[in-house]
A and B are shown apart, each in its own frame.
Chain A
Amino acid sequence: MSSKMHFLTDGLVKNNPTFVLVLGMCPTLATTTSAMNGLEMGLATMFVLILSNIVISLIAPVVPDKVHIPVYIVVIATFVTLLELLMKAYVPDIYATLGLFIPLIVVNCIVLGRAEAFANKNGIGASALDGVGVGLGFTLSLTVIGLVRELLGSGSAFGYKLLPGDGILAFVLAPGAFIVIGYLMVLFNKYLKK
């Protein structure tokens, strides 16, 4: 079992989708206006990632090589549609906040990237674990970015007021997203990347 654990932990630091692979930057920049939004977007992506990894690892041996990309995209789009319908039904508030970026999980390069690089040559168990690991890495990055932006932009964390004052609005707006991710990437390069 311990031999398989590294599939789970690789995604957190070594193959971190945001800071190392730099994939899926659109939702990373757009939805991290607060820690909660980042967390929700991360979990939504993880849902699609795990299910599409499982299905693709199962069908990969029978899919002809020439059409594998369109087939994978249809599989991913199916789970994204499923997620959209579930979210609209049970958590309409979250669906409204994340908006366009839920259907856009289809073109998130992380999902297709894991299908191409991992799920199509590994078994179902490893692929599921890989989906969980990379999904957790993505969720963690988004939550941290959201936390920093929320703290600087409005002085609160997960909606709880921590710092006095109104904060610097620019960090919640578009420029803050680029700047916070840029500086977090610097810290990551300096202290975590070996």
Chain B
Amino acid sequence: MEYLLIIISAIFVNNILLAQFLGICPFLGVSNKLSTATGMSGAVCFVITLATVVTWLIDKYLLVHFGITYLRTIAFILVIAALVQMVEIVLKKVSPSLYQALGIFLPLITTNCAVLGVALSVVQKDMPLGQATVYALATAIGWGVAMILFAGLREQLAGNDVPKAFKGLPIALITAGIMALAFLGFTGIGN
């Protein structure tokens, strides 16, 4: 039950993109096509969950143990960068087809602030490992849901005649705002 609440809250109520504003760059950058958005969402889900588990372990058994938690930011960003590289190498060897599908998105994920944001917020909130893993996965799914919905909207938008000054990002941002307004309707569920 507790986990169910975490999942619903992370996907709908506190959606990472539309309520917490993490991972906006890829949200605006690669949401032009539905297929790329889906690929990116898959890669992000995988990396966020893995990175949160690894950084949680490093925080608990290295940083907190030796009392050097002020190094958190530096340690986490290096771990995430290394992890993304490793995932890329392993995937290339083990599953070339999946690598083909996700390949180009992986290097971009290092600079996705959602990864560092989730990793930092679970240790700041003192979540136990199980809860942190579920929270990370659910948050990542929430990111994917918003991303795929938004890409669908933008594909429809691309064919429409939009005033010149609104073309491209401005109209995308306003669309995202209306979507966030819709997600605001979930406020209160699960609390």
A: residues with CB less than 8 A from B are 22-23, 25-27, 29-30, 70, 73-74, 77-78, 80-81, 84-85, 100, 103-104, 106-109, 112, 170, 173-179, 181-183, 185-187, 189-190
Q: Are B116 and A190 closer than 8 Å at their CB atoms?
A: no
The answer, yes or no, to whether B184 is at the interface (CB within 8 Å) is: yes
Binary per-residue interface labels of chain B (148-191) against chain A in the complex, 1 for a CB within 8 Å, 0 otherwise? 00000000000000001110011111101110110110000000
The answer, yes or no, to whether B98 is at the interface (CB within 8 Å) is: no
Q: How far is the CA of A80 from the CA of B75 in the complex (A)?
A: 12
Q: Are B177 and A77 closer than 8 Å at their CB atoms?
A: no
Residue in B73, B174, B180, B181 whose beta carbon sits within 8 Å of that of A77 in the complex: B73
8 A–B pairs (Cβ distance < 8 Å), ordered by A: A73-B77, A74-B74, A77-B73, A84-B70, A100-B121, A109-B25, A112-B111, A187-B165
Binary per-residue interface labels of chain B (98-123) against chain A in the complex, 1 for a CB within 8 Å, 0 otherwise? 00000000000011110011001100
Output the nearest chain A residue to B15 by Cβ-Cβ distance.
Answer: A174
A86 to chain B, nearest CB (A): 12
A178: chain B residues within 8 A (beta carbon): 173-174, 176-177, 180
Given contacts A30-B21, A81-B71, contact A73 B177 (CB under 8 A): no
B74: chain A residues within 8 A (beta carbon): 74, 77-78, 81
Q: Are A26 and B22 closer than 8 Å at their CB atoms?
A: yes
Number of interface residues of B (CB under 8 A): 42
A184 to chain B, nearest CB (A): 9
The answer, yes or no, to whether B35 is at the interface (CB within 8 Å) is: no
Q: Are A103 and B120 closer than 8 Å at their CB atoms?
A: yes
Given contacts A22-B28, A26-B23, contact A177 B112 (CB under 8 A): no
Residue in B19, B111, B121 whose beta carbon sits within 8 Å of that of A107 in the complex: B111
The answer, yes or no, to whether B33 is at the interface (CB within 8 Å) is: no
B93 to chain A, nearest CB (A): 22
Q: Are A81 and B120 closer than 8 Å at their CB atoms?
A: no
B18: chain A residues within 8 A (beta carbon): 174-175
Q: How far is the CA of A187 from the CA of B174 in the complex (A)?
A: 13
Q: How far is the CA of A109 from the CA of B181 in the complex (A)?
A: 27
A120 to chain B, nearest CB (A): 17
Give me the 7 closest cross-chain CB pairs, A-B, nearest first. Answer: A178-B177, A182-B173, A179-B177, A30-B21, A182-B174, A175-B180, A175-B181
The answer, yes or no, to whether B20 is at the interface (CB within 8 Å) is: yes
A106: chain B residues within 8 A (beta carbon): 73, 77, 116
Q: How far is the CA of A52 from the CA of B25 in the complex (A)?
A: 22
A112: chain B residues within 8 A (beta carbon): 111
Output the nearest chain B residue to A179 by Cβ-Cβ distance.
Answer: B177
Q: Are B116 and A107 closer than 8 Å at their CB atoms?
A: yes
Residue in A81, A107, A170 whose beta carbon sits within 8 Å of that of B70 in the complex: A81
